[in-house]
Amino acid sequence: MALELKPLKIGKYTLPIPIFQGGMGVGISWDRLAGSVSKTGAMGIISCVGTGYYKNSAFIQKTIKHRPFDTINFYSKESLFEIFKNARKICGQNPLGANILYAINEYGRVVRDACEAGANMIITGAGLPTNMPEFTNNFPNVALIPIVSSAKALKILCKRWEGRYKRIPDAVIVEGPLSGGHQGVSYEDCFKKEHQLEAIVPQVVEEAKKWGDMPIIAAGGIWDRDDIDRIMALGASGVQMGTRFLGARECDATYYNELMPKIKKEDIELIKSPVGYPARAIVTGVIKALREGRAPKIACVSNCVAPCHRGQEAKKVGYCIADGLGDGYLGDKENGLYFTGANGYRIDKIVSVQEIIDELTRK
Ligand SMILES: Cc1cc2nc3c(=O)[nH]c(=O)nc-3n(C[C@H](O)[C@H](O)[C@H](O)COP(=O)(O)O)c2cc1C
């Protein structure tokens, strides 16, 4: 039996629908997707990754062969402001979030940019954001939401935040290894029972109780209302979904609408990434090119993530993540990098955000 989906209170905000659309970069969840999700009363999240690509790089100072040059242009403040402005035209003053990976270069600056651009919540994964509150001092109403993959990670984070900043997260996202994009655990651990979402949610719920009133939002492999009900019964107060929205008409990276209905289960794999964590992607575009020995040369134009050390890791894994995701956004089918969750093959038709939300909220 379907449980009632209750509104979700996070910091100063109340979401009528406790569903987050996960941040997806480059350019998958920008103004159109995030704005359309927030308009429904669910939570739209703008990805801050690769904003320099927005509108053919119209808002940045310098490109090299159509690629945003260096960190300042790749994570462009001016473009992010435009994205927020245009998303607000769709969702008005409903809460809008910003997703910022901890592993990026200039993390603190981008968090500040997002607050100034009007983000109501900041969501950070890909690393444990132990100093996140430092960058939001001037924005006391902005809710801070880290993504963790274990109760241990939440404990370390809360200890640090409470000790240093006298605050705890406003909510926490717990992400299991069926999710799209980067994973929080090693390749081998992604397959172990003890790291699956059903195993980690109750542990994170228990840990959170020790620190105060912190809603838990579960992510990774959630597809339909049965999945939502199952995970809520384990103590989650909300869910975050990414892959499902790759089949939304409002998806900002339009090639996904063409690609997703065509892929099969065996086209989805965990691959190595220059970020240092495994990532789930579709074996097409640059990953296929890599396997066939024709991947593009790595030049590190955009200087995107710290763990890559200016292209050193990219050279080891054989592709540049910024270039791959950027090309994916631009619709370059040969060189694009396309992330998806394990459920990606289940998208059989493209529908509107409202239709997805209606299906998920129907009792
Ligand atoms: C194409 C794609 C890109 C993603 N990019 C990011 C990202 O930039 N930052 C992030 O924190 N999570 C990213 N994610 C993870 C999603 O935000 C979300 O947590 C996850 O997809 C949930 O699992 P699901 O895809 O099974 O619904 C991405 C996921 C997908 C499918």
pLDDT digits over 306-360, tens only?
Answer: 999 999 999 999 999 999 999 999 999 999 999 999 999 999 999 999 999 999 9
Residue 54 lies in a domain: yes
Residues 146 and 190 in one domain: yes
Spatial separation of the C-alpha atoms in residues 225 and 36, rounded to whole Å: 20
215 lines ligand 1 (CB under 6 A): no
335 lines ligand 1 (CB under 6 A): no
| Mean pLDDT, range 54-68, rounded to an integer | 95
Q: Is the pLDDT of residue 64 over 80?
A: yes
**Taking Cα atoms as reference points, which of 123, 133, 115, 136 lies closest to residue 20?**
123
Distance 163 CA to ligand 1 centre (A): 30
Please tell me what DSSP assigns to residue 51: G
**Averaged pLDDT of the chain:** 96
Q: Is 267 helix (H, G, I), strand (E, B) or coil?
A: helix
For the chain, percent of residues with pLDDT exceeding 70: 99
pLDDT of the residue at 126: 86
Residues 247 and 276 in one domain: no
Which residue carries 């359309």 as its tokens? Answer: 36
Q: Is 182 helix (H, G, I), strand (E, B) or coil?
A: strand
pLDDT of the residue at 363: 72
pLDDT of the residue at 197: 98
Residue 4 lies in a domain: no
Structure tokens at 298: 């790595």
Q: Whose CA is nearest to atom 5 of ligand 1?
A: 24
Q: Whose CA is nearest to atom 6 of ligand 1?
A: 24
Identify which of 47, 179, 231, 343 to mutate to test ligand 1's pocket (most ligand atoms within 8 A of the CB): 179
User: Total structural domains in the chain?
Assistant: 2
Q: Is the pLDDT of residue 264 over 80?
A: yes
22 lines ligand 1 (CB under 6 A): yes
Residue 8 lies in a domain: no
Range of the domain at 132: 15-259+348-361
311 lines ligand 1 (CB under 6 A): no
Q: Are 239 and 222 in contact (CB under 8 A)?
A: yes
Residues 174 and 222 in one domain: yes
Residue 196 lies in a domain: yes
Identify which of 20, 21, 24 to mutate to test ligand 1's pocket (most ligand atoms within 8 A of the CB): 24
Residue 328 lies in a domain: yes
Residues 104 and 175 in one domain: yes
Identify which of 83, 230, 339, 346 to mutate to test ligand 1's pocket (most ligand atoms within 8 A of the CB): 339
Q: Whose CA is nearest to atom 19 of ligand 1?
A: 22
28 lines ligand 1 (CB under 6 A): yes
Distance 315 CA to ligand 1 centre (A): 24
Residues 202 and 331 in one domain: no
Residues 72 and 46 in one domain: yes
pLDDT of the residue at 4: 77
Query: Could you report the per-residue pLDDT of 31-45, keeping only the tens digit for each?
Result: 999 999 999 999 999
Spatial separation of the C-alpha atoms in residues 147 and 157, rounded to whole Å: 10
Query: Could you report the per-residue pLDDT of 193-241, keeping only the tens digit for each?
Result: 999 999 999 999 999 999 998 999 999 999 999 999 999 999 999 999 9
Spatial separation of the C-alpha atoms in residues 27 and 94, rounded to whole Å: 21
For the chain, percent of residues with pLDDT exceeding 90: 97
| Mean pLDDT, range 296-305, rounded to an integer | 95
Which residue carries 């409470």 as its tokens? Answer: 162
**Taking Cα atoms as reference points, which of 171, 106, 102 lies closest to residue 130?**
102
Residues 106 and 221 in one domain: yes
Residues 36 and 93 in one domain: yes
Which residue carries 């965990």 as its tokens? Answer: 270
Structure tokens at 233: 């019964």
50 lines ligand 1 (CB under 6 A): no
pLDDT of the residue at 2: 62
Environment class of 273 (CB within 10 Å of its CB; exposed 0-12, middle 13-18, buried 19+) = buried
Residues 77 and 119 in one domain: yes
175 lines ligand 1 (CB under 6 A): yes
Residue 102 lies in a domain: yes
Q: Is the pLDDT of residue 17 over 80?
A: yes
118 lines ligand 1 (CB under 6 A): no
Residues 225 and 307 in one domain: no
Residues 243 and 323 in one domain: no
H-type helices in the chain, by residue range? 31-40, 54-57, 70-74, 77-91, 107-117, 151-165, 197-209, 225-232, 255-259, 285-291, 312-317, 321-330, 353-361
Q: Are 261 and 348 in contact (CB under 8 A)?
A: yes
221 lines ligand 1 (CB under 6 A): yes
**Domain harbouring 208, CATH code:** 3.20.20.70
Q: Is the pLDDT of residue 119 over 90?
A: yes
pLDDT of the residue at 121: 98
Q: Whose CA is nearest to atom 13 of ligand 1?
A: 24
Residue 37 lies in a domain: yes
Distance 177 CA to ligand 1 centre (A): 11
pLDDT of the residue at 213: 86
Residues 266 and 254 in one domain: no
Atom of ligand 1 nearest to the CA of 124: 11
* Residue 100 one-letter amino acid: I
**Helix H or strand E segment including 174:** strand 172-175
Q: Whose CA is nearest to atom 7 of ligand 1?
A: 24
**Order of all β-strands in the sheet with 96-99:** 19-21, 238-241, 216-219, 172-175, 143-148, 121-124, 96-99, 44-47
pLDDT of the residue at 1: 55
Distance 341 CA to ligand 1 centre (A): 7
Residue 9 lies in a domain: no
